[in-house]
Structure 1
Amino acid sequence: MAAAIAMQPLAPRPSPHHIAPAWSSPVSHPHYMDGKENRPVKKQSTQPSAPSNARSRRERPCDGCRRRKSKCVLQHARRCVLCEFHKQDCTFVENAQPRKRKADEMSSKPEEAATAAKKQDSVIAEPVTTPSSPLAQEFSSVTDYASDSPNPYAVDQSLSLQRHSHCTYLGPTTALDASLIGLSSFDDNNETASYVGTLRHVTDGEYFSIHSDADVPIPDDEARALAEIDALIGPHGPALIDLYFHNVHPNYPIMQKKTFLDRHRHGDRHFNPPLLAAMYLLAMDWWHSDPELSQHPRPDADRLEYIAITGLNIAMQRPKISAVQAGLLLLQRAKSSTWTLTVQLVALGQDIGLHLDCTEWSIPLWERRLRKRLAWALYMQDKWSALMHGRPSHINAADWAVQPPVASDFDDNLDPEPSEPAPEAAKGRSLFMHMISLTSIMAEVCSTFYSQTAKAEFARAGRYATQLVLNRAKPVQIKLKDWFAKLPPECKMDSPALGPHHLSSTGYLHLGYFATEISIHRRIVQSLNTATADPYMLYICRSAAKTRLISAMDFANRLQPAHLDAFWYFASAANFALIGTFGALLMATAPGKEEAEFYSWRLREFRWTLAVSARKAAWIASAAEMLEANLEMVARVPEKEAAVEMKRREKVVEVAEVEHELEEQEYDDDELEVDGWDEQV
């Protein structure tokens, strides 16, 4: 059994400010990596060690922890953490018992084993849930981890999730120069005192300032907000947490599941109020699918969202990972998808260094994994929000150093060795990773075709604008086609279900793909001038656009209840609306009445599809409303040309096809991907 380590006091601080105390160093454990494996050697403390405290037998656990077979973590001179939690004496009077193999104990002394188990149950706090609840099984599954945990609250050993302090990143152009900070003496936690707070070194040239939460006065306290949340949710909190981790977390893994459940198990109720409220809000989407919850009225979601948003504004004053998590979860609800909150979260993420590569930081391994997942979630939020609102992105590629995620980054365990994920978690992980790569392509589409620089260049091109658009479309179309071709089986729409009652979130990934594809062809159609454009170019471009639209609408028709009831990414409603917008654009720019009537018929069919889907997924109703607005504007377009004129135009196209060789055109079918690509969808 590893020994508990006493926290050594820092050197006297000259600062007149309240300085956050350094978190106590966790004990050594073979299956727990606290970031010391990445600690820069040159930053170790050169200060003399503090005198030992009153607990002289620091090389052995206390009697209570020995009986519980738990890690003994020193809190202060009188009692360890667990003895303090259970309000019992922390003594060292009992002798160590000889170890026996578990099989021998169960076979030779079953009665003693049962008695010991009862004693252990009597000293460990029970989770607030019912034994039959799936959440109870989740709590029991982390019992072994909790007994091996170096601290019941592992978040206090993190950088940006500590319960009573927060940190901010010190950039290279701030008044505190990294070279000057490096001259300081750092303690065992890579921290040093300064006039502006405690400074923490995470890797060469990267520093954070750590401050006590008490240093930032707030107009309201967390206890009051948590009490109000508990009053709204009542006894249904554990069931909602279970629904969240079953339906949301596998597909949107921005939480550290094990640490959250461990804190809950140990009776910690110092959760971030907006984060807890946001988790409840998302889980309530599956309220009626739970046999137990469906028998009770739903809590007031509007009031809960108000508490979450107001609490988030306060939490942002103390930058932590939990505030970013809360904001991202709130933005997954269609009602809360506001551009302003997205921009605030980007700034908050940069404040805690989410835009940096934390691979080699001297912080716990689980926090490095969480930071990477959260950073990419923030990246996707920024890029898809920019597409939704037609605004410039706030994350610049030149200042984005986060490495692409790998499979091990999604492991929720605190062990350094990755564990085998459950089938649902593996599928959700794959969806999340492919959504990240799709988002990068979509961001390139926005930059290539919709940035202010691109718009100015297309305007200067004049009558050659379409040719310029087509030339720039080809590279990004190839990337998009390659992305789709490499989708693994679990990410395809026709992938087999994991079980009869399992939901599938593959819909949001494919919808994002169609939205990206439509955004390319939308810009091509916008550049066309039906009066002056080459007839053959006009025919090729509009035919490719028509094919894209039909594929997207057919995708919407094929959605099953297992898709509609699953988790959908926040941009999905806007992406459904983009399909209708693209159809309305093709209808309004149709050169003849017959083509316009075709799009009118398809849009009516699409409106019916959205109305039916909205019965299972209410958030789709906003896409139907946007479609109605577009159809109202299209109705103002003058009536199209007669069928005779349309036939004349078709004759012109036939002549053009003879006169133009496909291999001599830079905008031929291959470049526009109309050569059977839809068969892959």
Structure 2
Amino acid sequence: MATAMAVQPLAPRPCSRDIAAWSPPKQRLMDNNESRPALKQLQQSAPQRPRRERPCDGCRRRKSKCVLQEGRRCVLCEFHKQDCTFVENAQPRKRKVDDTNKSDTSPNKRSAASSVKASTPPATKPQQPIFDLSNIPAPAPPVQPAGTKVLSVVDESLSLQRHRHCRYVGQTTALDARLIGLGDFNETNETESQVGLLRQVTGTEYFSTHDDADVPMPDDEARALADIERIVGPHGNKLIEIYFRNVHPSFPIIQKQAFLDRHRHGDRQFNPPLLAAMYLLALGWWQQEPTLASQPRPDIARLEYIAITSLTMAMQRPKISAVQAGLLLLQRPKSSTWTLTVQLVALGQDIGLHLDCSNWSIPLWERRLRKRLAWALYMQDKWSAVGHGRPSHISAADWNVPTPVPDDFDESVPPIDSTTDEEDEETLRGRSLFNQMITLTSIMAEVCDTFYSQTAKADIDRAGKYATQLVLNRAKPVQIRLKEWFAKLPAECKMDSYNTNQLSATGYLHLAYFATEISIHRRIVQSLRPPTTPSESYMMYICRSAAKTRLISAMDFVNRLRPEHLSAFWYFASASNFALIGTFGALLQATSPGSEEAAFYAARLNEFKWTLSVSAGKAPWIQGALELLDATATMLTRLPSKPASVADEEGMDEELMMTGFGVGAVRQEMEVDRW
């Protein structure tokens, strides 16, 4: 006779001892279970328990709402795979700290309570962003009683806590997600282990979190912050204002409201390299600010030294702030190093920026910040690979970050999904530019994979005399994609969408577009070989005509740049992209079949160089592009003389009509359009 046996759940019973490694703030920005869709759905669909019924033992210990299911365990016990019992006695209530403060009327107690209250950011009604910080003196950090913890929104985050850091637990490590799931998780989804405190963000994704003190290193953070503030002197508030006015709209990788709230309340425990990087970028507009132009500029060299050295130490404790600092430092002229870019990619993967965090059990504002920061890192990697001629370190197979949507740019804490009237025009323009740059970068990444990867290079070499045809066949899909992207460009991203005497950052996006186009035609020109038949001569002529059209369009774009464009924010790759236009012109000059064509490109290159030298007066960083053009010009001095010009377009068209080719037909098939 069979005996019925009750199979106990695999997970152990929750431990009754407290896990004191993390103390959550009193005012939580989000419900701990809010970001778990499956759990939230169970809670909404399960029958509600009458108030007179007591919660189960597990929910009582977690201090969570107990929602019973019909004939089954409660929702949370079902989710944690544990027994749902009602045998333990109610735990005695603990007196709140505020009760002591209320009962004690001594001045010292009252001042301590007021100090803690003043240092806590409001959680119900976010304050409006600051747009003029120049007249607000930097308040001294509030004095806290011994043992009192200053609460902040960053203390609830995963990767922005001030004294802790985290590392993503990958799928192939010795820590298996199913085994970690057997742990006893507290109300903050954390469980203790011998490798650190493990935090669960989804049913299968975990992070190990560690105290910063666990990583021994010189404790120079306070000294670095003091040095930074000493260098900028009384101009710190003004530089922060300049940063958020000129850089942040087009490069929104900082949670603006959280930063300004901390700054406003005297919290100066910022990440030193991040603060220094913000100051360094803002110093680019020093001369344009009437209140600063007549005063001595802070010591930029000293500020850069502090930023770089403190970033090197900050990388040992992976946090979002270290990635932010690195990305901002790379936006400075002549500072885009491939080594630092690769380090940031590794750092971003360490904290899980390559993953989709949409359903993680972390604050909503942090999820949105992670998406923006992840794509900024993606663009940094791809455009650095183009500028340095290196293989990208971010693989499409391991990239699972959704493209930001409008709600992901809400920077209020907590999020309110709205923007102020002050922000509407410039902020929305910057967000649109950021999103369009993401799409364009993905196209450029396809161009690099299609034409410049080692496998693509080997394919073209093996094609021999059919190399040009192979390149043209591969170029057509990406050319169509690029053409569709440009056709759908929003009105606020057009070059003529600007107001007089108001900075417009649209220039860097269009320059990146021309760099992408040129990268396609550069490979086509490189694949051309001396023709041996009339049809090959004609194909060469058409390919070079298309390349000439792209070059002239790019140079005309540079001629149309106005002070409103030149003085605005430009992406770090812009100097390299300007130089790429000149390099393409030099390539066409060097490969010209006749002397007249070579002379044409030589004249256009001289005009282009003159235009850039004039523009450098408004944008000094363009000097980097001019230096690269000088190097190219030196190489062209060794170019041998060219023979007389070949047949013109009309004569060649008549000559090859018998072969079935025609200038118009081939141009139409190649989808050559003037910008």
Whether the TM-score (by the shorter chain) exceeds 0.5 is yes
Aligned pairs for 1:449-468 within 5 A: 449-468=451-470
Aligned CA distance change for structure 1 residues 416 and 520 (closer, same or farther; 3 Å)? same
Match of 2:403, as an amino acid?
Answer: P
114, 137, 143: which is aligned to 1:83? 114
Kept in 1: contact 2:582–2:629 (CA 8 A): yes
Mark the CA change 1:627 to 1:430 in structure 2 (over 3 Å): closer, same or farther.
same
Contact 1:372 1:402 (8 Å CA) reproduced? yes
**1:439 and 2:436 are equivalent in the alignment:** no
Q: What fraction of aligned residue pairs are identical, expressed as a percent?
A: 63
Count of aligned residue pairs for this structure pair:
592
- Distance in 2 (CA, whole Å) between partners of 1:600 and 1:663 is 25
**Paired residues for 1:583-662 under 5 Å:** 583-643=585-645, 646-647=646-647, 651-652=651-652, 654-661=654-661
1:288–1:294 Cα contact (<8 Å) kept? yes
Amino acid of the residue matched to residue 55 of structure 1?
K
> In the alignment, which residue of structure 1 is the partner of 2:370?
371
Amino acid at match of 2:424: A
For 1:127-206, list aligned pairs within 5 A. 133-134=132-133, 152-206=151-205
- The SS at the match of 1:334 is coil
Q: CA deviation at 1:532?
A: 3.7
Pair 648,547 (structure 1): closer, same or farther in 2 beyond 3 Å: closer
Q: TM-score with structure 2 length normalisation?
A: 0.82
2:22 corresponds to = 22
**Counterpart-to-counterpart distance in 1, 2:97 and 2:444:** 61
Decide whether aligned partners of structure 1 residues 368 and 43 sit closer, same or farther in structure 2, where only a CA change above 3 A counts: farther
1:469 aligns with 2:510: no
| 1:551 aligned residue | 553
> 1:242 maps to which residue?
241
Change in CA separation of 1:513 and 1:44 when aligned onto 2, cut-off 3 Å: farther
Which among 670, 674, 678 is matched to residue 668 of structure 2? 670
Following TM superposition, by how much is the alpha carbon of 1:295 offset from its aligned partner in structure 2, in angstroms? Answer: 2.1
Asked whether the equivalents of residues 118 and 265 of structure 2 are also in contact (C-alpha less than 8 Å), the reply is no
- CA distance 1:369–1:388, shift in 2 (3 Å): same
CA distance in 2, matches of 1:514, 1:43: 54
Q: 1:605 to 1:204 in 2, by over 3 A?
A: same
Q: Secondary structure at the match of 2:287?
A: helix
Q: Which amino acid aligns with 1:466?
A: T
Q: Following superposition of structure 1 onto structure 2, how do residues 91-130 of structure 1 map, counting pairs within 5 Å?
A: none
Q: Matched residues in 1 for 2:577 and 2:590: separation? A: 20
Against the structure 1 CA distance between its residues 426 and 338, is the aligned structure 2 distance closer, same or farther, given a 3 Å change threshold?
same
Alignment of 1:566-577 (within 5 A): 566-577=568-579
User: Could you say which residue in structure 2 is the equivalent of 1:492?
Assistant: 494
Q: In 1, are the aligned partners of 2:138 and 2:237 still within 8 Å (CA)?
A: no
**1:649 & 1:274 partners in 2: Cα distance?**
58
For 1:507, the equivalent position in structure 2 comes to 507
State the partner residue of 1:385: 384
Cα deviation, 1:300-321, whole Å, max 9, x if unaligned, reads 1111111101110000000000
In the alignment, the residues of structure 1 paired with residue 454 and residue 118 of structure 2 have an alpha-carbon distance, to the nearest angstrom, of 64
Counterparts in 2 of 1:354 and 1:10: CA distance versus 1, 3 Å: farther
SS in structure 2 of the partner of residue 200 of structure 1: strand
| Alignment pair present for 1:269 and 2:289 | no
Structure 2 matches for 1:230-309, cutoff 5 A? Answer: 230-309=229-308
Deviation at 1:27, TM superposition (A): 2.8
CA displacement 1:146-182 (0-9 Å, x = unmatched)? xxxx985100000000001000000011111100000
Matches of 1:546 and 1:502, distance apart in 2: 34
2:131 and 2:241 in contact (8 A); partners too: no
Deviation at 1:422, TM superposition (A): 2.2
* Deviation digits for residues 453-511 of structure 1 (CA, Å, limit 9, x no counterpart): 000000110000000000000000000000000001100001142xx442000000000
The question of 1:529 aligning with 2:570 is answered no
The answer to whether the Cα contact below 8 Å between 2:184 and 2:191 also exists between their aligned partners in 1 is: yes
CA distance in 2, matches of 1:138, 1:343: 39
User: 2: CA distance between counterparts of 1:63 and 1:409?
Assistant: 44
Structure 2 Cα separation of the partners of residues 348 and 589 of structure 1: 43
Gaps of 5+ in 1: 1-8, 14-19, 65-77, 89-130, 141-149
Deviation at 1:83, TM superposition (A): 3.3
| C-alpha spacing 1:229/1:611, structure 2 compared with 1 (3 Å) | same
Question: How far did 1:537 drift?
Answer: 0.2
CA distance in 1, matches of 2:598, 2:652: 19
- Structure 1 distance, partners of 2:647, 2:538, is 15
Describe the shift of the 1:481–1:502 C-alpha distance in structure 2 as closer, same or farther (beyond 3 A). same
Q: Which amino acid aligns with 1:670?
A: Q
> Which structure 2 segments of 5+ residues have no match?
1-14, 40-75, 120-129, 140-148
C-alpha separation between the residues in 2 aligned to 1:380 and 1:132?
Answer: 28
Measured in 2, the distance between the counterparts of 1:281 and 1:204 equals 42
Is the CA contact 2:197–2:208 (under 8 Å) kept in the aligned structure 1? yes
Equivalent in the alignment of 1:38: 35
Query: Is the 8 Å Cα contact of residues 33 and 416 (structure 1) preserved in structure 2?
Result: no
The structural deviation recorded for 1:265 is: 1.6
Is the CA contact 1:587–1:596 (under 8 Å) kept in the aligned structure 2? yes
State whether residues 101 and 113 of structure 2, in contact with CA within 8 Å, keep that contact through their aligned partners in structure 1: no
After superposition, the CA RMSD in angstroms is 3.1
Larger mean CA deviation between 579-588 and 79-88 belongs to: 79-88
Closer, same or farther in 2 for the Cα pair 1:210/1:550, shift >3 Å? Answer: same
Q: Is the 8 A contact 1:37 1:362 kept in 2?
A: yes
User: Which residue type is aligned with residue 641 of structure 1?
Assistant: P
Deviations 1:411-441 (A, max 9, x none): 1112443103421100000000000000000
Task: Give the secondary structure class of the aligned counterpart of 2:326.
Answer: helix
Query: In the alignment, what sits opposite 1:96?
Result: none
* Cα displacement (A) at 1:530: 2.7
Alignment partner, residue 98 of structure 1: none
Question: 2 CA distance for matches of 1:517 and 1:563?
Answer: 21
Structure 2 residue 86 is matched with structure 1 residue 55 = no
Cα displacement (A) at 1:282: 0.2
- Between 1:368-377 and 1:264-273, the stretch displaced more is 264-273
Cα 1:597–1:62, aligned 2, differ >3 Å: closer, same or farther? farther
Aligned to 2:483: 481
Q: What secondary structure, in the 3-state scheme, does the structure 2 residue paired with 1:577 have? A: helix
Partner deviation per Cα, 1:57-97 (whole Å, 9 max, x = no partner): 77x99699xxxxxxxxxxxxx99985354799xxxxxxxxx
- Report the AA paired with residue 272 of structure 1: N
Cα deviation, 1:278-314, whole Å, max 9, x if unaligned, reads: 0000000011111111121111111111110111000
Q: Distance in 1 between matches of 2:418 and 2:410?
A: 7
Q: Which amino acid aligns with 1:364?
A: P
| Partner Cα distance (1:519, 1:483) in 2 | 16
Q: 1:461 to 1:196 in 2, by over 3 A?
A: same
The 3-state SS of whatever aligns with 2:643 is coil
State how far apart, in whole Å, the 1-side matches of 2:607 and 2:280 are: 33
Alignment partner, residue 331 of structure 2: 332
Task: Give the Å deviation of 1:658.
Answer: 4.5
Q: Give 3-state SS (helix, strand or coil) of 1:292's partner.
A: helix
Matches of 1:45 and 1:295, distance apart in 2: 69
- SS of the residue corresponding to residue 194 of structure 1 reads coil
Deviation for aligned residue 1:669 = 1.1
- Whole-angstrom CA distance in 2 between matches of 1:87 and 1:453: 60
**Residue identity opposite 1:409 in structure 2:** D
| Alpha-carbon distance in 1 for matches of 2:519, 2:204 | 41
Flag the 1:185–1:541 CA change in 2: closer, same or farther, 3 A. same
Deviation per CA, 1:647-668: give whole Å up to 9, x if none. Answer: 4898455412452245998xx2
Classify the secondary structure of the residue corresponding to 1:199: strand
Alpha-carbon distance change, 22 to 486 in structure 1, aligned in 2, over 3 angstroms: same
1:138–1:656: structure 2 CA closer, same or farther, 3 Å change rule? farther
**Closer/same/farther in 2, CA of residues 485 and 296 from structure 1, 3 Å limit:** same
Letter in 1 for 2:622: I
Q: Is the 8 A contact 1:365 1:414 kept in 2?
A: no
Structure-1 separation of matches of 2:669 and 2:391 = 28
Relative to structure 1, is the Cα distance of residues 417 and 132 closer, same or farther in structure 2, using a 3 angstrom cutoff?
Answer: closer
